[in-house]
A and B are shown apart, each in its own frame.
Chain A
Amino acid sequence: MSDGVTLAQEAGSRDPAIGLRAVRALRELAERLEALQVASARDKGWSWQQIAVCLGVSRQAVHKKHGGGRRILKKER
């Protein structure tokens, strides 16, 4: 790991502004990846139940969050 990264990490641990921005960015990153992966899984024929198990949430939760989509092929749970 480069000195620059180490320095940045040290600064990050001390400055709440950077730490909090990183948390927000991580959350946003996770949300975007989730949307991509869920859409991809659905396209590959995965059920909401299968997706939910992988994400560690209930089927209802994942369907409520991602189910309102613009899918061409309507698939049952």
Chain B
Amino acid sequence: MFERFTDSARQAVNGAQGQARTLGHHHVGTEHLLLALVEGDDPTAWELGRLGLDAADLRARLVRISADPLDSDALRAIGIDLEAVRQATEQTFGEGALDVPAGQSRPSLWGHLPFSPKAKKALEQSLRHALRLKHKHISSGHVLLGALHDEEFLSVRLVTEAGVDVNTLRAEITRLLTSAAA
């Protein structure tokens, strides 16, 4: 399957590794694929930017919703104001003092991080989308369609939370892919 990947698609897959590593995550998920696609420099990335998706914003959302077990909503439910704890802690220990996950072991700086089952599924779906559109190659646009395939993907949740309609995005990317006469 990977021999069909264009340079842009390979960059997205490799970029996702880097995204996961930068965030200190131990696997590559659909969310990292999305980040890599947004940070690319090709028509898919430009389209994502045009629709208002920004890598820094998505990364901040990702840190907030997924990676951090310090769930402020859950804490509020038992009467703890995490923001107050954060302020008190930062006053003593400096900004971001509370943001270092406990006992976090740093992932290896080299070697490949494993792809999550959902990220694998997303890549498989990118092939299906290429076949469906009768394209011989899998480009970053197909990877994006794969990453948007399932509502359960974190990538889909991120896109939605950033205020972009997933169906609109799918349609725009499909239009881009079919007009490029790839």
Point out residues on A near B: beta carbons under 8 Å.
Answer: 1, 5, 8-9, 11-12, 18-19, 21-22, 24-26, 28-29, 31-36, 40
Contact = CB atoms under 8 A, between A and B. Distances in A.
B109 to A, nearest CB: 16
B89 interface: yes
Contact of B100 (A8, A21, A22, A32): A32
Given A26-B80, A28-B102, A31-B103, A21 B93 contact: no
Contacts, number: 68
A25 B101 contact: no
15 contacts: A9-B77, A9-B79, A19-B77, A19-B78, A21-B74, A22-B77, A22-B80, A25-B69, A25-B70, A31-B103, A32-B70, A32-B98, A33-B89, A34-B102, A35-B102
Contact of A32 (B72, B76, B92, B102): B102
Given A33-B89, A35-B100, A36-B93, A11 B77 contact: yes
B101 A12 contact: no
A5 B72 CA distance: 13
B85 interface: yes
Contact of A29 (B70, B77, B92): B70
Contacts of A1: 79
Contacts of A40: 92-93
A24 B100 CA distance: 16
B95 interface: no
Given A21-B71, A24-B69, A29 B85 contact: yes
Given A9-B79, A25-B71, A26-B78, 5 more contacts: A9-B78, A22-B77, A31-B103, A35-B100, A36-B89
Contacts of A26: 75, 78, 80
A36 B97 contact: yes
Contacts of B102: 28, 31-32, 34-35
Interface in B59-79: 69-79
